[in-house]
């Protein structure tokens, strides 16, 4: 099994100099991860920030489409394969001031399962991008590669649509994220956790929820439970409800927040909802980024508001 590489993306160092990293993830394809990544990138650039968008949907890269870009000189594979040595060189201009893109790999077959050393190389070097913000557009699903980029970002954003399949996959994704995060805690604490899990299993107890597990830890090993809670609470996770059509869909974010708190024992943020807007398709057909094409639309204004709320949480 692959071991996570530790918090290399956000390691303390020169805090002021490194870019803040936001990752877009979610269990399902088609929920708007790429659309939201691209739109947030445009919003940040409009707000005067230098931004690099990174297409990390390793098997199905199409972030460039949301920006109206057809092709690029370099892709992520040029960097991962060693053809280009400097990560800054593969971040190409998008035509929008201050916004650059590391285009996803065109040869999806060879890159869909990047090797451990390639993931480590990326995690080490993404903070070296010359930018204020780096946005990672991840693929669907819960592969270790996807989870490891997500858990190491400063903010983990999860896009969910009102479709029940998407809601279900989002809970699964969040659970995987939190469990994967727990694997990065010190070995001794992990071993104690493992002992408690084994005792539960041998005692014939059901796996139960993450919240149940943390509670049981608090009873049996209070000091370990404290560091578990800290680790879970340290993750800045946020839900975004996308493609809202019915007024009743707007309740989804808050109710998911309550369910997460009950079952995972940690607070997940709720950034708000975005309406479904036919103009998104129109912008795609015109090969132009939605946010710069329809900046006065309700959808564009809501993206701007979300970005401003997140920026306010970062200390740069
Ligand atoms: N709020 C929205 N309104 C209308 N269309 C949207 C909205 N969000 C996303 N889309 C469209 O839905 C499709 C799927 O979105 P995409 O960002 O590719 O999803 P993902 O990256 O999660 O697979 C795209 O064609 C995208 O432009
Ligand atoms: Mg996508």
Residue with the two structure tokens 């993206």:
303
User: Does the C-beta of 67 come closer than 6 Å to ligand 1?
Assistant: no
> In the chain, what are the domains?
20-173+240-313 (3.40.50.300)
Could you say which ligand is closest to the alpha carbon of residue 278?
Answer: 1
Task: Give the model confidence (pLDDT) of 175-202 as tens digits.
Answer: 999 989 988 888 888 888 888 888 878 8
Q: What is the mean pLDDT of the chain?
A: 89
Residue with the two structure tokens 């927040």:
257
Q: 255 by DSSP, 3-state: which?
A: helix
Residue 109 has pLDDT above 80, yes or no: no
Confirm if 260 and 177 have CB atoms less than 8 A apart.
no
Q: What is the mean pLDDT of residues 33-41?
A: 97
| Other beta carbons within 10 Å of 247 | 7
N-term to C-term CA, the chain? 37
Give the pLDDT band of residue 15 (cuts 50, 70, 90): low
| Other beta carbons within 10 Å of 108 | 14
User: Does the C-beta of 34 come closer than 6 Å to ligand 1?
Assistant: yes
CA–CA separation, 244 and 159 (whole Å): 12
E-strand spans in the chain? 20-25, 51-56, 91-93, 99-102, 133-138, 155-160, 237-244, 269-275
**Is the sign of the CA dihedral 240, 15, 104, 95 positive or negative?**
positive
Residue nearest to atom 14 of ligand 1 (CA): 30
Distance 87 CA to ligand 2 centre (A): 22
What φ, ψ does residue 311 adopt, rounded to 5°? -60, -35
pLDDT at 3: 38
Residue 115 has pLDDT above 90, yes or no: no
Give the pLDDT band of residue 2 (cuts 50, 70, 90): very low
User: Does the C-beta of 272 come closer than 6 Å to ligand 1?
Assistant: no
Q: 143 by DSSP, 3-state: which?
A: coil
DSSP 167-206: HHHHHHHHHHHHHHHHTTS-HHHHHHHHHHHHHHHHTT--
User: Does the C-beta of 276 come closer than 6 Å to ligand 1?
Assistant: yes
Residue 4 has pLDDT above 60, yes or no: no
102: left (phi over 0), alpha (psi -120 to 50) or beta: beta
User: Does the C-beta of 145 come closer than 6 Å to ligand 1?
Assistant: no
Distance 61 CA to ligand 2 centre (A): 7
* Tokens found for residue 136: 């990672």
Identify which of 142, 170, 255, 262 has the alpha carbon closest to the alpha carbon of residue 210.
262
Residues, the chain, total? 316
User: Does the C-beta of 32 come closer than 6 Å to ligand 1?
Assistant: yes
pLDDT at 63: 93
């Amino acid at each position: 099994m692959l071991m996570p590489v530790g918090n290399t993306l956000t390691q303390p160092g020169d805090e002021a100099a490194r870019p803040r990293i936001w990752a877009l993830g979610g269990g399902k394809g088609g929920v708007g991860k790429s659309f939201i990544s691209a739109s947030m990138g445009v919003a940040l650039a409009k707000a005067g920030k230098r931004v690099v968008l990174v297409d990390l949907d390793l098997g199905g890269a199409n972030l460039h489409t949301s920006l109206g870009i057809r092709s690029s000189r370099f892709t992520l594979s040029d960097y991962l394969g060693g053809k280009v040595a400097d990560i800054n060189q593969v971040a190409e201009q998008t035509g929008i001031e201050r916004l650059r893109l590391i285009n996803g790999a065109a040869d999806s077959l060879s890159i869909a399962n990047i090797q451990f050393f390639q993931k480590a190389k990326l995690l080490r070097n993404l903070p070296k991008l010359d930018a204020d913000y780096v946005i990672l557009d991840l693929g669907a699903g819960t592969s270790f590669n996807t989870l490891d980029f997500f858990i190491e970002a400063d903010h983990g954003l999860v896009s969910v649509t009102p479709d029940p399949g998407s809601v279900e996959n989002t809970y699964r994704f969040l659970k995987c994220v939190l469990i994967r995060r727990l694997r990065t805690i010190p070995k001794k604490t992990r071993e104690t956790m493992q002992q408690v899990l084994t005792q539960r299993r041998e005692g014939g107890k059901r796996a139960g929820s993450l919240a149940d597990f943390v509670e049981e830890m608090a009873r049996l090993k209070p000091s370990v439970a404290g560091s578990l809670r800290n680790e879970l609470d340290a993750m800045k996770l946020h839900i975004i409800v996308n493609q809202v059509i019915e007024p009743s869909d707007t309740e989804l974010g808050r109710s998911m927040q309550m369910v997460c708190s009950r079952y995972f024992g940690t607070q997940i943020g709720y950034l708000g909802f975005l309406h479904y807007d036919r103009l998104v398709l129109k912008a795609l057909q015109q090969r132009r980024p939605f946010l710069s094409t329809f900046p006065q639309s309700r959808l564009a204004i809501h993206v701007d508001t979300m970005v401003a709320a997140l920026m306010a949480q970062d200390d740069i």
